[in-house]
Every structure is written in structure tokens, then in C-alpha cells.
Amino acid sequence: DIQMTQSPASLSASLGETVTIECLASEDIYSNLAWYQQKPGKSPQLLIYYANSLNDGVPSRFSGSGSGTQYSLKINSLQSEDVSIYFCQQNYDSPPTFGSGTKLEIK
């Protein structure tokens, strides 16, 4: 199985700041990388697919980038509703696998 290593495990930032979350795959996944947001007590929601394609309805302050084995999720102008756990997931090979999550809090 492809291993997904996500960092940092937790992150605290101020409102209006920009934050970046990283995801490293154990092998090349050719941009087949999705990001999900899980708000407290809720189910995960798709933010980005194919490394940099924004899902419908997702605010433009979210963006994704990367290629090969290294990917990142950037959140500009952090807002209070962004408090969540963020997961990456590779959809290149079976079974799909997830990163361990990054918990984002507001300072």
C-alpha cells in the first residue's frame, strides 16, 4: 500500500494568516491526490482533487499544489470556520490511503 505522511500533526495560527499543510507519498502518485476537511463532529468533505482542482463550492482561499510524491494544501486568510482536521488521500493505487491528518486551530 502507498503510505501517506502528513505534516504537521497539529497547527495553530491567527485569523487572517496563511497556513500550509504537507503530504508526502511513499511513491509517485502522479497528482492523484485529494484533500478533505473534517469539521468537529462532522463527516469529511472534499476540498481538492487531482492535487489542485477545487471542488464545487469550496472557497478560493483553499488551494492545492504538488507533483510526484510531494503535495501541499494552502489556506489563505484563515477564518474561524476553517478549524478542522485536514486529510490527504492518494487515489492513484488500490487501496486508496489517507494521511494521518492535521488538526488546525485558531490562536
List contacts with other proteins (CB under 8 A): 31-32, 34, 36, 42-46, 49-50, 53, 55, 87, 89, 91, 94-101
Cβ-contact 21, 33 below 8 angstroms: no
Nearest by Cα to 73 from 92, 97, 94, 101: 101
Q: Which is nearer to other proteins, 65 or 91 (CB)?
A: 91
Q: Which is nearer to other proteins, 53 or 67 (CB)?
A: 53
Q: Which is nearer to other proteins, 78 or 88 (CB)?
A: 88
Q: Which residue has the cell 477564518?
A: 79
